[in-house]
Amino acid sequence: MMALLSILENIRTNRTRASYSVSPLEGMEGIFFGLNNDGQPCLFITADQVQSIPSIRTSQIRVEFFKKYKLIVGENEEREGIYHSILCLSKDPLDIQTFIAVLESMLKELNGNISVGALNSMFHSLVNLFSINPEADATLMQRGLWAELFFMQQNEGFTFWASSWHSEPHRLFDFSTNNMRTEIKCTVKQERIHEFSHNQLVTISNDRIVVVSFLLQEDDSGTSLRELIESAKAELRGSPDYIKLERAIRSVRMNEPDTDGPKFNSAHAIQNTAWFRSTEVPRFPIQEPTGVTGTHYRSDLTQANRLSQQETSEWIENWGAQNPE
């Protein structure tokens, strides 16, 4: 399938004055992508029947079902018919880029089989995405995202972990599956000291929790967060978990495509990675007392017992057994 951005550039170069200038999507019968007369992207899916279903919209997105449209395909071919549509109403370039990226991933995932239900799902995914407010401390959050993506890349790949990755950055754990939890911590200091929520270390349930700690070294020629994001996009595009990546990108203010974000030395990060069971992390060994919640503290893991290479491999193997691809 031709990249949607390439289609838009081609339409912008050759478009005529029309409400909707579109191009058919290669390998997807009856699906058209293009621009409205305000230059905003839109997708049309040929409907094979007529029903009355109310449209749904926000200030940024509109979805309509079984509506008559006149599309201009190519330079002057008119196609009038009944279509479903999803239109980006936002004029913010970053919203438009996100809209296109999510649309491209979902089209790949659905392989052209776009039902009313799929359009509804697409709409709500985009609404949730556009509702994200970027974190105030973008520097700290970008560093955390670097560590999470680097962890995935170095341990079986993004696809292996994506289904168990948190759906938003303030979940208690970064990765969760059944009764297993994996939490990623990082610091740019030389001491292996991290901040924990008490509930990450002492839980009522019998969760097995592992903490993966990175010591990071800033390096102008190191691996950038942008590089990790692009690698993750390439691997996750077309999967149901791609939207998680877009949410993470937006929340840490990395949706500007020319923003590199922090850069860290990969070799140093690998050499200074350590895995710990939560029971080995210095902590208060009791539940929060009644009336006390949200306890956070800093724990020094320098002297804590680490998992061996074999134990680390077994943890990853057991994780994969619970999340077969």
Report pLDDT digits (tens) over 215-245. 999 999 999 999 999 999 999 998 989 999 9
For residues 280-291, average pLDDT: 82
**What value does the mean pLDDT of the chain take?**
88
Looking at residue 325, what is its pLDDT? 60
Query: How many domains are there within the chain?
Result: 2
Q: Are residues 144 and 75 in the same domain?
A: no
pLDDT of residue 204: 62
Distance CA 179, CA 170 (A): 19
Can you tell me the distance from the alpha carbon of 3 to that of 79, in angstroms, rounded to the nearest whole number? Answer: 23
For residues 247 and 188, state if they share a domain: yes
pTM of the full predicted structure? 0.86
Say if residue 311 is in the same domain as residue 232: yes
- Between 182 and 3, name the one with better pLDDT: 182
Domain containing residue 147: 138-322
Indicate if the pLDDT at residue 294 is higher than 80: no
User: Domain ends where: 86, 110, 130?
Assistant: 130
45-67 pLDDT, tens digit per residue, is 998 777 778 888 888 999 988 89
Q: Please name every residue paired with 24 in a beta bridge, in sequence order, or none if there are none.
A: 32
Lowest average pLDDT, out of 27-31, 132-136, 153-157, 307-311, goes to 132-136
Confidence (pLDDT) at 16: 66
Residues 206, 94, single domain; the answer is no
47 and 188 part of one domain: no
Instruction: From 99, 130, 161, give the residue that closes a domain.
Output: 130
Task: Please identify which residue in the block is written with the tokens 């595009």.
Answer: 237
Q: Are residues 12 and 60 in the same domain?
A: yes
Spell out the residues 6+ positions from residue 119 whose beta carbon is closer than 8 angstroms to its own: 45, 63, 65, 84, 86
The model's pLDDT over 113-141, given as tens digits with 9 standing for 90+, comes to: 777 788 888 888 888 888 887 777 888 99
Determine the average pLDDT of the residues in 267-282: 95
Q: In this structure, are 154 and 300 located in the same domain?
A: yes
Lowest mean pLDDT among 143-157, 167-181, 263-277: 167-181
130, 156, 181 — which closes off a domain? 130
pLDDT at 211 over 90: yes
Residues 110 and 170 in one domain: no
pLDDT at res. 1: 40
pLDDT higher than 60, residue 266: yes
Indicate the pLDDT class of residue 206, thresholds 50, 70 and 90: low
Q: What pLDDT is stored for residue 79 in this prediction? A: 86
Q: Give the closest residue to 146 by CA, choosing from 114, 123, 174.
A: 174
Residues 193 and 95 in one domain: no
pLDDT in tens, 86-109: 999 988 888 888 899 888 888 888
Same structural domain, 176 and 314: yes
> Based on the domain organization, do 167 and 195 belong to the same domain?
yes
pLDDT mean over 253-275: 94
Asked whether residue 93 falls in the same domain as residue 177, the answer is: no
Percent pLDDT > 70 in the chain is 97
Task: At 96, give phi and psi (nearest 5°).
Answer: -65, -45
Comparing 193 with 109, the larger pLDDT belongs to 193
| Residue 15: band (very low, low, confident or very high) from pLDDT cuts 50, 70, 90 | low
